[in-house]
Amino acid sequence: MANSDKTATPVNSMPRSSGQGRALLPIQRVVDLLRMPLLALATAFVLGAVVIFLTSGRLETVGEAYWGLLRGAFLKERGFSESLVAAIPYVFLSLGLAVGFKTGLFNIGVEGQFYMGAIAAAWAGQAIQGVPTIINLPLVLLAGALGGAIWAGIPGYLKAKTGAHEVISTMMMNYVAFRLTEFLISGPLRAQGAASTIQTPRISPGAELWALWDIPARLADPLNALGVGLVLGCLAWLIARAVSRRGQGSGVRGQAAGGKLQTASGDTQYAIRGTSFVVRHSSLIIAAAVALLAFLALPPLTRLWWPFTDRYDRLHLGLVLAVLAAVGVWWLLWKTTVGFELRTVGANPNAARYAGMSITRNVVLGMALSGALAGLAGTVEVVGVSICRCLPLFFSSGYGFDSIAIALLGRNNPFGILASAFLFGAMRNGADLMELSSGVSKYIISLIQALVLLFVAAPAVVRWLYRIKGAARADEAPLTRGWGG
Amino acid sequence: MPPALQATGVIKRFPGVLANDHVDFTLAQGEIHALLGENGAGKSTLMNILYGLYQPDAGQISVNGQLVKIVSPHDAIARGIGMVHQHFMLVPPLTVTENIMLGQESLMGATKVFGRLAMLDRRTAAGRIRELSRQYGLAVDPDATVGDLPVGAQQRVEIIKALYRAAEILILDEPTAVLTPQEADELFVIMRGMVKQGKSIVFITHKLREVFAVADTISVMRAGAMVGSVKPAQATRELLAEMMVGRKVMLAIDKSDAHPGAVVLQTDGLQVLDDRRHVTVDGVSLTVRSGEILGVAGVQGNGQTELAEALTGLRRLAGGKMTLNDHDATRVTPRQLVEAGVGHVPEDRHKHGLVLAFPVRDNIVLCTYYRPPNSHGVALDYAAIERQAAELVRVFDVRTPSIHTTTAALSGGNQQKVIVARELSRMAGQGAAPDRRGAAPLLIASQPTRGLDVGSIEFIHRRIVEARDRGAAVLLISAELDEIMSLSDRIAVIYKGHILATVDAKTATREQLGLLMAGVAPAVTQPGHKEGGRG
């Protein structure tokens, strides 16, 4: 539009190196980032208190309810770890939503993809037998991710090719997924010989995601110890590489500080008192050392001392996977060309096309990644949490819809999502004790969560409530576009 | 006689910007007062204050010597102030009469008892419109549907709408932006006529030529302040440009003769459909050679948008052929053009050219993010990207607080500089980018300076000429005749999707091009430019 630049704020007159951008103090940036979500959260709890007061007629009930919520979520026995257990699927699902949002897609079908991931994992878990965990578990995780990815990829393809809006098609796919899993559980995949319960067969032991208390026993198997060593080695390699890359950017400073220089090939050049020598492939050496150390030392060490001893604690390794997934999504979205394309397509598809990116490919990829993460959520529930290590009929979750609020509260930022997922996990976990101790229906939690969603989705309301003047426009970029957009 | 409209000491602040800084403005009775200024100089803010859309933070406004407070457009209209906005405020499916009555409906006397359900009295209104149309020479048919009218006629409807509401003072906001030179001249005649009959007119523009053609007084604003007022007789184009920009400006681009080389882009009988599947480009054959600028002139909406999109792979060809450096490029994709080092400054910088939510840094590598040095494998190399962005921001004088600033926060001129920096820097053989496959570089620039201020226009024009001098072939598509005439080596005129003629820029006259832009085919086509035919 010829006229549109008139409305933009002119920075013409500004001196070059002042104001915005990186110049802000880190602490100010953090405050800026956290302000709106925290205000939304606080407002929702205040309004929740008002509703509790109005329905119960007693002011004390408000205190009892929130105290009960707090105790249930953190203070009671296993409260904290149960909150984490509930947060794990939330993390995967909201990461999935965030990837969708960043690609300009509103994947409202994560619940269905969760089910498809769960059923795919349940099938793969019982189909693959007699293989060590190090091979079995990744295969099952892959199956679950694929189940979700395919289920989300279909609406993605339909959107890219025909313009069918993903909100409608993923919502429809939800119902198909619900009925399809019911059919599979009660029909083809039903466990033979099981008495009254209708469920899939138990997955093979190698496919189980270990509970934390169980780790010393699991590590007794040398194959498992080897697997853990390899995984830790890979992680050490990635971290070492990332650190050495960062070192390159500020080579001079690195030299001044530690007498150590990084070169392009991952070699580390040491300079001590004028003489310098190069350690080739230093990251690989670090990785190998870590792997070996873990393989040899972890089994005896964990046998000697291990913090998790409670056999009824359900906290499992999915927690580590969830954190890794958050880091992975962050890296993918902001540090790779793949993420650059996804975000460009999400922010301005016309510019993406102009720049030579394929809209079709990126929309399908964005949906598939989103669905894969949702599928992983279902997978960890089956292989890490479910008591029968299987998928029972009437396996109810409701995680998917909460996750929309979590992704928005976390501002589609992977680390924000880790925090908000934990918060929602705690609320979900604490709700029962709240009901028990105060008589307030646990559905008040849904009300509070809905209010959070409302305030986060409509920041203007919060801004008006607290008289905050206009925030950066980019924060309120539309999360999804209209029909055929 | 007291001045028709006077503003003294007007101050208006927006968050972070002082849009009007103690502005004084006096419109004498019966004069045409041109208001000049770059984008963001505060012209529109001042006019919006006078029209009651904004309230000033300080300052006084008087109409006909009487101190007033204008609280709304309604109020402004009641005081005889009318405004014609750059973007028309018309309802396309309604007739001219209905549009003009809108908001001030005349009702049939007998039905008035029904209040809001009374019947409209179109006949009386139409009669009044015919009267105004005769009186001021504003030819319109009251019964025509507005959506069917050409842009010039729609503008006349807007002017009549203001007159119908008994406006004595008219504010015209960039009225000539949508007109051909001839239509603009007609508008000036009408404006002269209105002034003779006692109206006073504020005429906002950024085209210097028009100011001399029609204004009685010229006021110039810069950075929120009134720089001064002069009479046309005492002013020169150079003086006005200097007042607008605050420094000496080269109005005429210094350019040497073109040295056309090999054919870079050739199209043969291009046919392109628009979104409604109408043929909008019909049989366009063009040749662009290395080292020359081919300008495509034409009034907006004659197929330029679709032509540019087809040439850059954004729109599929319905017919015809296209070659780029002797390779068939009929089904070329945007990515292939990036690979071939073809630069493309798109017509709509917000739609295609930029991702406004991204920082400047990311927009600099929008087309080349996927290849070294910007990335290795899938990993983006932000250190390299930031080095490149910082360098281009410096070379192209992009005024931004930092390369991490959101592009949406930049002014239009600086946003456009980001695009020009990106496109020119990645063109083959132009500085940083390697000369891929030995291809001669091509730049396709659509409306590269639309809506920009004089300073930015000068800057971008100079870069385009520099690219040409380094051997680039340039296809310049623009609705600004001044831009076409000052930059091009040859000029093709497009009208309703056809190239009516291609003429030598040295011998072309404004009148000749204006006639072509209005669709009047030349009696004799110049020899030696056989691509001028209708395909």
Q: How confident is the model at residue B439 (pLDDT cuts 50, 70, 90)?
A: low
Structure tokens at A165: 């809006």
B492 touches chain A (CB under 8 A): no
Taking an 8 Å cut-off on Cβ atoms, the answer to whether B334 and A353 are in contact is yes
For residue B369, the chain A residues in CB contact (below 8 A) are 337, 340, 355
Burial class (CB in 10 A: 0-12, 13-18, 19+), A312: exposed
Q: How confident is the model at residue B138 (pLDDT cuts 50, 70, 90)?
A: confident
pLDDT tens figures, A444-472: 998 998 898 888 888 777 878 887 765 44
For residue B401, the chain A residues in CB contact (below 8 A) are 11, 14, 16-21, 23
Q: What is the dihedral of CA A107, A108, A109, A115, to 10 degrees?
A: 110
Q: Between β-strands B58-63 and B5-14, what pairing exists: parallel, antiparallel or unpaired? A: antiparallel
Taking an 8 Å cut-off on Cβ atoms, the answer to whether A11 and B86 are in contact is no
Nearest to A11 among B356, B411, B452 (CB): B411
**Alpha carbon separation from A485 to A162, A165, B390 (Å, rounded):** 11, 8, 34
Structure tokens at B216: 């009685």
Q: Half-sphere exposure of residue B261, counting CA atoms within 13 Å on the CB side? A: 16
One-letter identity of residue A373? L
Between CA A453 and CA A405 the distance in angstroms is 5
Q: How close, in Å, is residue B431 to chain A by CA atoms?
A: 20
Taking an 8 Å cut-off on Cβ atoms, the answer to whether B401 and A19 are in contact is yes
- Sign of the dihedral defined by the CA atoms of residues A180, A182, A185, A186, in that order: negative
- Cβ atoms of B126 and B141 within 8 Å: the answer is no
pLDDT tens figures, B410-434: 877 889 999 999 998 887 555 434 4
Between CA B269 and CA B321 the distance in angstroms is 7
**In the block, residue with structure tokens 């950066």:** A472
- Sign of the dihedral defined by the CA atoms of residues B446, B447, B453, B457, in that order: positive
A56 pLDDT higher than 90: no
Share of chain B above pLDDT 90, in %: 49
Taking an 8 Å cut-off on Cβ atoms, the answer to whether B405 and A5 are in contact is no
Q: Between β-strands B169-173 and B200-205, what pairing exists: parallel, antiparallel or unpaired? A: parallel
Higher pLDDT residue, A90 or A206?
A90
Q: E strands of B31-100, at which residues?
A: 32-37, 58-63, 66-68, 81-84
Taking an 8 Å cut-off on Cβ atoms, the answer to whether B378 and A472 are in contact is no
pLDDT tens figures, A210-239: 999 999 999 988 999 999 999 999 999 998
Instruction: Please give the biggest Cα pair distance in chain A.
Output: 79
**In the block, residue with structure tokens 């380094």:** B470
Q: How close, in Å, is residue B19 to chain A by CA atoms?
A: 10
Taking an 8 Å cut-off on Cβ atoms, the answer to whether A2 and B354 are in contact is no
Domains B5-245 and B263-532 share a fold: yes
Q: How close, in Å, is residue A442 to chain B by CA atoms?
A: 40
Interhelix angle A359-380/A337-347, nearest 10 degrees: 110
**Which of A3, A341, A354 has the most B C-beta neighbours within 10 Å, making it the best mutation to test the interface with B?**
A354
For residue B411, the chain A residues in CB contact (below 8 A) are 5, 8-12
Q: How close, in Å, is residue A279 to chain B by CA atoms?
A: 23
The DSSP bridge partners found for residue B220 are B36, B228
**Which of B86, B402, B444 has the most A C-beta neighbours within 10 Å, making it the best mutation to test the interface with A?**
B402
Higher pLDDT residue, A259 or B162?
B162
Question: Who's near A366: CB < 8 A, 6+ residues apart?
Answer: A99, A100, A102, A103, A104, A105, A156, A342, A345, A346
For residue B359, the chain A residues in CB contact (below 8 A) are 21
Between CA B474 and CA B122 the distance in angstroms is 53
| Domain-wise residue ranges, chain B | 5-245, 263-532
Taking an 8 Å cut-off on Cβ atoms, the answer to whether A23 and B17 are in contact is no
Report the chain B residue with the minimal C-alpha distance to residue A337: B378
Higher pLDDT residue, A270 or A3?
A270
Taking an 8 Å cut-off on Cβ atoms, the answer to whether B380 and A335 are in contact is yes
Taking an 8 Å cut-off on Cβ atoms, the answer to whether B334 and A354 are in contact is yes
Nearest to A3 among B355, B370, B451 (CB): B451
Nearest to A3 among B87, B351, B414 (CB): B87
Q: Kindly report the backbone phi and psi dihedral angles of residue B439, in degrees, each rounded to the nearest multiple of 5, phi listed first.
A: -75, 145
Report the chain A residue with the minimal C-alpha distance to residue B314: A354
Q: How confident is the model at residue A382 (pLDDT cuts 50, 70, 90)?
A: very high
Taking an 8 Å cut-off on Cβ atoms, the answer to whether B408 and A12 are in contact is no
Q: How confident is the model at residue A258 (pLDDT cuts 50, 70, 90)?
A: very low
For residue B353, the chain A residues in CB contact (below 8 A) are 351, 354
For residue A241, the chain B residues in CB contact (below 8 A) are none
Q: What pLDDT, on a 0 to 100 scale, did the predictor assign at position A322?
A: 97
Taking an 8 Å cut-off on Cβ atoms, the answer to whether B413 and A347 are in contact is no
Nearest to B39 among A5, A23, A344 (CB): A5
**Which of B88, B205, B378, B480 has the most A C-beta neighbours within 10 Å, making it the best mutation to test the interface with A?**
B378
A365 pLDDT higher than 60: yes
Q: Kindly report the backbone phi and psi dihedral angles of residue A211, in degrees, each rounded to the nearest multiple of 5, phi listed first.
A: -75, 150
For residue B378, the chain A residues in CB contact (below 8 A) are 336-338
B379 touches chain A (CB under 8 A): yes
Does residue B296 come out as left (phi exceeding 0), alpha (psi in the -120 to 50 range) or beta? Answer: beta
Measuring CA to CA, which residue among B352, B426, B368 is closest to residue B396? B426
Q: Average the pLDDT over B380-386 and give the result.
A: 93
Report the chain B residue with the minimal C-alpha distance to residue A249: B383
Higher pLDDT residue, A213 or B526?
A213
Report the CATH number of the B5-245 domain.
Answer: 3.40.50.300
Q: What pLDDT, on a 0 to 100 scale, did the predictor assign at position A485?
A: 32
Taking an 8 Å cut-off on Cβ atoms, the answer to whether B383 and A249 are in contact is yes
CATH 3.40.50.300 fits B263-532, yes or no: yes
Burial class (CB in 10 A: 0-12, 13-18, 19+), B157: buried
**In the block, residue with structure tokens 């922010």:** A347
B369 touches chain A (CB under 8 A): yes
pLDDT tens figures, A291-339: 999 999 998 998 888 888 888 899 999 999 999 999 999 999 999 999 9
Report the chain A residue with the minimal C-alpha distance to residue B337: A356
Cα A52 vs. chain centroid, distance in angstroms?
31
pTM for this prediction: 0.79
- Cβ atoms of A136 and A206 within 8 Å: the answer is yes
Between CA A438 and CA A67 the distance in angstroms is 9
First to last CA, chain B: 61
Q: What angle do CA B229, B230, B231 make, to 5 degrees?
A: 140
Question: Who's near B397: CB < 8 A, 6+ residues apart?
Answer: B417, B459
B371 touches chain A (CB under 8 A): no
Between CA B147 and CA B92 the distance in angstroms is 4
Report how many Cβ contacts below 8 Å link chain A to chain B: 155
Least confident of A80-84, B262-266, B451-455: B451-455
Q: Kindly report the backbone phi and psi dihedral angles of residue A117, in degrees, each rounded to the nearest multiple of 5, phi listed first.
A: -65, -45
Q: Average the pLDDT over A336-358 and give the result.
A: 95
For chain B, the average pLDDT equals: 87
Measuring CA to CA, which residue among A16, A336, A25, A262 is closest to residue B382? A336
**In the block, residue with structure tokens 């496919």:** A207
Between CA B391 and CA B385 the distance in angstroms is 10
Q: How close, in Å, is residue A11 to chain B by CA atoms?
A: 6
**Which of A3, A476, A479 has the most B C-beta neighbours within 10 Å, making it the best mutation to test the interface with B?**
A3
**Which of A11, A16, A335 has the most B C-beta neighbours within 10 Å, making it the best mutation to test the interface with B?**
A11
Query: B280-289 in b/e burial notation, b at 16+ Cβ within 10 A?
Result: bbbbbbbbbb
Cα A172 vs. chain centroid, distance in angstroms?
24
Taking an 8 Å cut-off on Cβ atoms, the answer to whether A8 and B408 are in contact is yes
Q: Cis omega before residue B373 (within 30°)?
A: yes
Q: Average the pLDDT over B124-131 and give the result.
A: 90
For residue B351, the chain A residues in CB contact (below 8 A) are 348, 350-351
Taking an 8 Å cut-off on Cβ atoms, the answer to whether A12 and B411 are in contact is yes
Q: What angle do CA B496, B502, B503 make, to 5 degrees?
A: 135
Q: How close, in Å, is residue A149 to chain B by CA atoms?
A: 21
The DSSP bridge partners found for residue B281 are B272
B352 pLDDT higher than 70: yes
Taking an 8 Å cut-off on Cβ atoms, the answer to whether A5 and B314 are in contact is no
B346 touches chain A (CB under 8 A): yes
- Sign of the dihedral defined by the CA atoms of residues A144, A146, A151, A156, in that order: positive
Taking an 8 Å cut-off on Cβ atoms, the answer to whether A12 and B414 are in contact is yes
